Amino acid sequence: MSKIGVIFDLDGVIVDTAKYHFLAWKNLADELGFEFTEAHNELLKGISRVHSLEILLNIGRISLSEDKKQNYLTSKNEDYLNYINKMGPEEILPGTEKLLDTLDSLNIKYVLGSASKNAPLILKQVNLLERFTDIVDGNSVSKAKPDPEVFLIGSKKLNLLPEKCIVFEDAIAGVEAANKANMISVGIGDKNTLHKANYNFNNLTEIPENFFEEFLSKK
Ligand code: B16
Ligand code: MG
């Protein structure tokens, strides 16, 4: 077995579901009567669904009963799923499949480490579900990113120590979670935003072929 393993975030690394989250949150904000912009949506990247609603309600300066919050969480997700159910493999972000092929050829195992409770469905929609050794998602954790729980469970699924795991993440909260877990963090996206990551690339097409060699050769 390989000495290292990889944990992939989903939204923003493998697929861009942020655009669908945006449409669904915006519909909710419209219903509640305030403006929700793409800049606001940036604040929700990598953040759990429940916490996202809290941030959204803060933006609108709205306070709701717990019952109402639960109803809105359900209706937002139903709305979001209408978009997800139309997704197909053409929505896989560039470089993903080539990177997975490289990992397969090096015998490096990989799991998913996502905040999304819809992660298995999204992977199924884009025909990637079978490729992952395991899925750790929003249903498996009690603490959301930036807590390291999701990635620490991922390392257990890989049967590896945290320091032997490489995490690909597009969100600040996710990079923080990987760093707290004592893993190797790779920021995918804006280098300035993700400056706490150990390595930075704009997207997965930029990962060099020999990127993993350095880690495989370490004792
Ligand atoms: P759901 P990731 C995250 O996915 C998204 O970035 C974030 O915007 C979303 O609120 C969260 O999943 C929960 O998603 O409503 O589907 O459970 O980046 O951790 O893969
Ligand atoms: Mg993400």
Decide if 11 is catalytic.
yes
Atom of ligand 1 minimally distant from the CA of 12? 18
Residue 64 exposed, middle or buried by CB count within 10 Å (0-12, 13-18, 19+): middle
Q: Taking CB atoms and a 6 Å cutoff, what residues make up the pocket around ligand 1?
A: 9-12, 21, 44-49, 52, 77, 114-118, 138, 171
The residue whose C-alpha atom lies closest to atom 12 belonging to ligand 1 is 116
Atom of ligand 1 minimally distant from the CA of 112? 20
pLDDT value of residue 1: 57
For the chain, the structural domain boundaries read 5-15+90-218, 18-84
The residue whose C-alpha atom lies closest to atom 6 belonging to ligand 1 is 46
SS3 content of the chain, % helix, strand, coil (to 5): 45, 10, 40
Residues in the chain with pLDDT < 50?
none
pLDDT value of residue 204: 98
pLDDT value of residue 218: 74
Q: Match 């004792």 to its residue by tokens.
A: 219
Side-chain-side CA neighbours of 14 within 13 Å: the count stands at: 30
Spacing, Cα 46 to ligand 1 middle (Å): 5
Residues with CB under 5 A from ligand 2 (ion): 9, 11-12, 46, 170-171
d(CA 201, CA 194): 10
Residue pair 138/145 in contact by the 8 Å Cβ criterion: no
Asked if CATH classification 3.40.50.1000 holds for the domain at 5-15+90-218, the reply, yes or no, is yes
Assigned CATH topology for domain 18-84:
DNA polymerase; domain 1 (1.10.150)
